Amino acid sequence: METPWTLHLSCPPTFTCPVPPLPSLLSLKRVTPHCLFILFGVYGDVMRVKILFNKKENALVQMSDSTQAQLAMSHLNGQRLHGKPLRITLSKHTSVQLPREGHEDQGLTKDYSNSPLHRFKKPGSKNYSNIFPPSATLHLSNIPPSVVEDDLKRLFSSSGAVVKAFKFFQKDHKMALIQMGSVEEAIDCLIQFHNHDLGENHHLRVSFSKSSI
């Protein structure tokens, strides 16, 4: 039986978080704070991420509020990341502590509170109405005019994933849908290519799509 990865979401003090169960193995081969920041950032603004120094099978992800923490948990719990299922619980910790000055933690703790990649920092952002569970089809936006279908298919297949279908929006070629071989491949591609530099001062925006091609 494969061992799931366990992630604990920490919430602001206004939310009561139950004590998480005993941890399972979290493989760190490809999982970094940035990887978790991008994935959980689909469902809320991630403030801090910590992969525990002495218990590297655990990770803490601090969301900006309890609603976002619940949303991330409901959509991501049980999804597969790099070959293993995610197990997500709410943490007893209300925040992720940063390392004390002069203490090196090998880059396992990252503060993203001022990140420009937060999707929900603008009140009324349309990102609030475009939150969907992980799916094999990804929504791409902020595509510059010079980038064509083959460019994007080549980019996404470079990760080793299978591109099953692609379609530009008929009225707006700044946006497109791309269908991957599986939900797991789509999750990996979202992590890898969200904010990818496409040139012409355009950084690709990637999210899960509610519709398929």
Ranges in the chain annotated CATH 3.30.70.330: 5-99, 130-208
Contacting residues for 212 by C-beta, under 8 A, at least 6 apart: 135, 136, 137, 177, 179
Question: Which pLDDT value is given to residue 202?
Answer: 94
CATH topology assigned to domain 130-208: Alpha-Beta Plaits (3.30.70)
pLDDT class of 22 with cuts at 50, 70, 90: very low
- What is each CA distance from 51 to 32, 55, 101, in whole angstroms? 8, 8, 18
Domain 5-99, second-level architecture: 2-Layer Sandwich (3.30)
Which residue do the tokens 């071989």 mark?
A: 181
Most confident of 25-29, 31-35, 204-208: 204-208
Indicate the average pLDDT of the chain.
Answer: 83
- Longest Cα separation, the chain: 54
What is the SS3 assignment for 94? coil
What pLDDT, in 10s, does the model give residues 159-202? 999 999 999 999 888 999 999 999 999 999 999 999 999 988 99
What pLDDT, in 10s, does the model give residues 50-82? 887 666 667 888 988 888 888 999 999 989 888
Using CA atoms of 180, 57, 35, 10 in order, give the dihedral in degrees to the nearest 10. Answer: 110
Its pTM stands at 0.85
Q: What angle do CA 38, 42, 48 make, to 5 degrees?
A: 50
> Among residues of the chain, what percentage have pLDDT more than 70?
79
pLDDT class of 126 with cuts at 50, 70, 90: low
Nearest in space to 192 (alpha carbons), one of 206, 202, 182: 206
